[in-house]
């Protein structure tokens, strides 16, 4: 990882995730979620959940932030640190679909931060999704 994430930067990511969660479009679940991440190059990107009446069209906050980062930095983008939160829940794990998308742009050392029972939990991505499916599983 090229960019060092300081504790102050983590606090800034938490604040950005909280701020962007207010912009969520969640008329069905009523659950507002925000995500903020920092790339290996030091870029900061945010996303919020956007629901749709045909639930398959819904976009989670994590994927929104990642797609914005790829649009800005290109296909070599890598996640250094990712924070996901909702002001409405004391526990908010990352869904399986988002974990799979994160795996495309994470390294084993990428840090993820979310709340469990009101406490912040920081894990390496390898700890969060140890048996992920990746491009290494596809034929050459």
Domain coordinates in residue numbering, the chain: 7-137
pLDDT (0 to 100) of residue 100: 94
CA dihedral 62, 89, 116, 60 (to 10 degrees): -10
- For residues 17, 13, 90, 88, the Cα torsion angle rounded to the nearest 10 degrees is -20
Residues tagged active-site: 62
By DSSP bridging, strand 79-85 and strand 111-116 are: parallel
Q: What is the pLDDT of residues 41-64, one digit of tens each?
A: 999 999 999 999 998 999 999 999
What integer pLDDT is reported at residue 135 of this predicted model?
79
**Which of the listed CATH numbers 1.10.10.10, 3.40.140.10, 2.40.33.10, 3.40.50.880 matches domain 7-137?**
3.40.140.10
pLDDT of residue 2: 67
Res 138: pLDDT: 79
Q: What is the model's pLDDT at position 1?
A: 53
- DSSP code per residue over the chain: --S---HHHHHHHHHHHHHHHTT-B-TTT----EEEEEETTS-EEEEE-B--SSGGG-B-HHHHHHHHHHHHH-TT--EEEEEEE-TT-S--PPPHHHHHHHHHH--TT-EEEEEETTEEEEEEHHHHSTT---GGGS--
Instruction: Return per-residue pLDDT of the chain as tens, 140 residues.
Output: 567 899 999 999 999 999 999 999 999 999 999 999 999 999 999 999 999 999 899 999 999 999 999 999 999 999 999 999 999 999 998 999 999 999 999 998 999 999 999 999 999 999 998 887 777 877 87
Q: For residues 75 and 44, is the Cβ–Cβ distance under 8 A?
A: no
Can you give the pLDDT at residue 14? 97
């Amino acid at each position: 990882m090229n960019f060092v994430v300081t504790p102050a930067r983590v606090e800034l990511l938490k604040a950005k995730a909280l701020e962007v969660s207010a912009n969520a479009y969640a008329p069905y679940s009523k659950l507002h979620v925000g995500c903020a991440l920092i790339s290996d190059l030091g870029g900061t990107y945010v996303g919020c959940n956007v629901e749709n009446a045909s639930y398959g069209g819904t976009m989670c906050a994590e994927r929104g932030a990642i797609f914005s980062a790829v649009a800005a930095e290109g296909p070599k983008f890598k996640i250094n640190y990712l924070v996901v939160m909702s002001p409405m829940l004391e526990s908010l794990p990352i869904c399986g679909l988002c974990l799979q998308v994160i795996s495309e742009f994470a390294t084993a050392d990428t840090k993820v931060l979310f709340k469990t029972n009101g406490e912040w939990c920081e894990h390496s991505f390898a700890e969060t999704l140890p048996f992920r499916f990746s491009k290494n599983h596809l034929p050459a």
